[in-house]
């Protein structure tokens, strides 16, 4: 793992660019899923089944034999690459490696993960990228970026120099307190190749504990398009913030100065936990793979269908698949949060 480095022309690929694999960290009894472990594992299994229809899947778990037993009946399970590594939790999007192309070099950036501003334990999860590097599964150089806190769910890239993020998350005092907004922007430019950083100052889902991750709110997709969460209900507690966010998005342009095509996604009806707390359900938390878009749905027929239809319009060449994620939002995350894509030629052949 390299600790001293200078990048010349880094580019963070867009999620819809060709991929080798998707990464999952499996739920087990020592995670926060312990009280509903069967439901969580069933959802992860459905996600895994969808992924291995077309590509490889990296599964990280402290006991891979247990996971192998759970997945032994899946077709194409030979496409699963197991990594026996200790984990605190399952949010691979946020502790997984950030993939960068720098000229002819493939790089995995290992940023510091401190569990969304020191909210939870992260002693194992922050070491996962290093452990994967030591296991030698990557066809890429791993770069130590532990001097900067950054979660994958907090940034969106169009692969052409535009990075979309939120001020609330990246400027959180428990992440990079010692750095100013300008200094954080400079880090994104130097390490992710950002030519233009777009900051959303508004937009947050009730119950979200990530400090407004961008992948719960607005997503860059092909065709210079943004899919974003929109509320049409003035009585919804999220309405004002999402209205302000929409106004900001309408004023934004990409790194080439071009305005975005905006496509609204519906806001699901409120879903609550057993104690009556609203959960951060969102359709924006979808995963793009080589030929599919896996979309979280919530047993809400009207908005589920509208979200799937809208995403299908944005991805006419992909198969759009809805996956029930009511289990995932019980721990305040959804489908994109549990996954991390590994771009083409970044994973060694098995």
What is d(CA 229, CA 250) in angstroms, rounded to the nearest whole number?
Answer: 13
What is d(CA 185, CA 292) in angstroms, rounded to the nearest whole number?
Answer: 32
What is d(CA 141, CA 129) in angstroms, rounded to the nearest whole number?
Answer: 11
What is d(CA 69, CA 132) in angstroms, rounded to the nearest whole number?
Answer: 22
What is d(CA 322, CA 168) in angstroms, rounded to the nearest whole number?
Answer: 29
Helices (H), the chain: 37-52, 64-71, 92-95, 115-118, 128-134, 167-170, 173-176, 181-192, 239-251, 301-314
| Phi, psi (rounded to 5 degrees) for 124 | -85, -45
3-state secondary structure of 26: coil
What is d(CA 180, CA 196) in angstroms, rounded to the nearest whole number?
Answer: 17
CB distance 125 to 92 below 8 Å: no
Choose, from 169, 267, 325, 337, the residue flagged as catalytic: 337
169 is catalytic: no
CB distance 290 to 317 below 8 Å: no
Candidates 288, 283, 328, 289; CA nearest to 309 is 283
Sign, CA dihedral 227-332-339-42, equals negative
Q: Is 112 left (phi over 0), alpha (psi -120 to 50) or beta?
A: beta
Enzyme catalytic residues = 337
């Amino acid at each position: 793992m390299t600790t001293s480095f200078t990048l010349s022309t880094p580019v963070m690929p867009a999620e819809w660019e060709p991929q080798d694999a998707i990464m999952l960290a499996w739920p087990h009894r020592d995670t926060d899923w312990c009280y509903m472990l069967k439901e969580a594992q069933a959802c992860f299994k459905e996600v895994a089944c969808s992924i291995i229809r077309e590509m490889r899947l990296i599964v990280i778990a402290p006991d891979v034999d247990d996971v192998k037993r759970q997945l032994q009946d899946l077709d194409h399970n030979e496409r699963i690459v197991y990594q026996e590594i200790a984990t605190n939790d399952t949010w691979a999007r946020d502790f997984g490696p950030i993939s960068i192309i720098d000229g002819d070099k493939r790089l995995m950036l290992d940023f510091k993960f401190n569990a969304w501003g020191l909210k939870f334990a992260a002693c194992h999860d922050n070491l996962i990228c290093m452990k994967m590097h030591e296991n030698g599964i990557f066809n890429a150089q791993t770069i130590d970026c532990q001097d900067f806190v950054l979660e994958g769910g907090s940034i969106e890239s169009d692969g052409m120099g535009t990075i979309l993020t939120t001020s609330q998350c990246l400027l959180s005092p428990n992440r990079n307190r010692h750095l100013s907004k300008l200094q954080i922007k400079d880090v994104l430019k130097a390490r992710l190749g950002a030519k233009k950083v777009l900051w959303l100052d508004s937009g947050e889902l009730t119950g979200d504990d990530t400090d407004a991750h961008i992948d719960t709110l607005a997503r860059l997709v092909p065709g210079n398009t943004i899919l974003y969460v929109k509320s049409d209900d003035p009585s919804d507690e999220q309405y004002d913030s999402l209205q302000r966010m929409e106004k900001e998005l309408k004023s934004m342009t990409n790194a080439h100065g071009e305005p975005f095509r905006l496509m609204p996604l519906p806001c699901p009806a409120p879903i609550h936990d057993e104690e009556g707390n609203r959960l951060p359900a969102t359709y924006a938390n979808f995963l793009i793979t080589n030929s599919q878009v896996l979309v979280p749905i919530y047993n809400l027929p009207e908005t589920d269908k509208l979200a799937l239809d809208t995403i299908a319009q944005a991805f006419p060449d992909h198969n759009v698949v809805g996956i029930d994620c009511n289990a995932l939002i019980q721990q305040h995350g959804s489908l994109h949060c549990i996954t991390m894509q590994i771009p083409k030629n970044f994973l060694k052949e098995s």
